[in-house]
A = this chain, B = another copy of it.
């Protein structure tokens, strides 16, 4: 059996696990007050090119989204995202559970467009009855998106412009950021992201860690008593360094980007392999998720030897299927898949 179901099927990248092992017997204070957490924060801020800023370590993507949004919004404010936004669809109402409306706008290739955002917010403030409505008070996007696509620097900048004009912090969900940063032709780097977004997170769980995400902000003043808010959400890990040492490993010797490169290269090989055999793409993704349109008969045939996710029907006889690569995907697995199609 070969597996392309998702990027969280195996444990941690060996260099990450080794770091956990190497530090295991040391005594450090709890709740992130340890030296490793300080070291990881410094490493990350440096990689981001931020002289001033703050980093917080959380356990998972939904948790990071939920708590960041809970901090940035006051009670009668909402967060804007696009229809397929993870917070809108696949977080079991985590944002609403904290009292905040998710305002979903149309999208293109999984991306929010600056013009749609501008129109929505301008209309809101023009509406005389807006005291009866939820104020759009921050913006959420993912990079890469749910479909593996990427914003261009220009697209991102235009969204940020609208955000700043209407005083809405821009938050970028980077669950799969490693795969975006090293994608072919992308012009968004960790540094540019760090200065454009008000806050974003560097995904660990789906990029080689056992678990964990690093929330980064250039505006610490927005995150007053954030550790206390983390505690309130049940998200302040007692052995806080368990998260930070993983990020030290990921940000040592470029491991984070090496993981991205490895997965993107194999995903691209997989995509081109399908394409060369006449398959159509549902979405042309430059990152580690590939959405291919495959005849239903072929899907049934592949299922016994290949793991992948069913994404939805495409007409009567075909379906969209998702293949995902990560640090643990081997060249042999891709070759074997391509032989089967």
Contact surface of A with B, Cβ cutoff 8 Å: 1, 3, 5-6, 8-12, 14, 17, 20-21, 23-31, 59-67, 70-71, 74-76, 78, 89-94, 96-102, 129-135, 205-206, 210-211, 225, 227-229, 231-239, 242, 307, 328
Contact = CB atoms under 8 A, between A and B. Distances in A.
Contact of A27 (B10, B78, B90, B206): B10
Contact of A90 (B12, B133, B135, B237): B133
Given A233-B233, A237-B211, A307-B27, A100 B94 contact: no
A23 B227 CA distance: 32
24 contacts: A5-B29, A6-B30, A8-B238, A8-B239, A10-B26, A11-B23, A11-B24, A11-B242, A59-B59, A75-B232, A76-B92, A78-B96, A89-B133, A91-B232, A92-B133, A93-B101, A96-B96, A96-B99, A99-B99, A101-B102, A131-B231, A133-B228, A211-B242, A233-B233
B225 A131 contact: yes
A24 B9 contact: no
Copies of chain A in the complex: 4
Contacts of A239: 8, 11, 205, 210-211
A131 B3 contact: no
B242 A62 contact: no
Q: Nearest 7 CB-CB pairs, A to B?
A: A63-B234, A11-B24, A92-B231, A93-B134, A8-B238, A92-B232, A9-B27
A31 to B, nearest CB: 8
A76 B238 contact: no
B132 A234 contact: no
Given A63-B234, A239-B11, A239-B205, A210 B129 contact: no
Nearest to A61: B238
A187 B43 CA distance: 51
B228 A92 contact: yes
Contacts of A70: 75
Contact of A75 (B26, B229, B236): B229
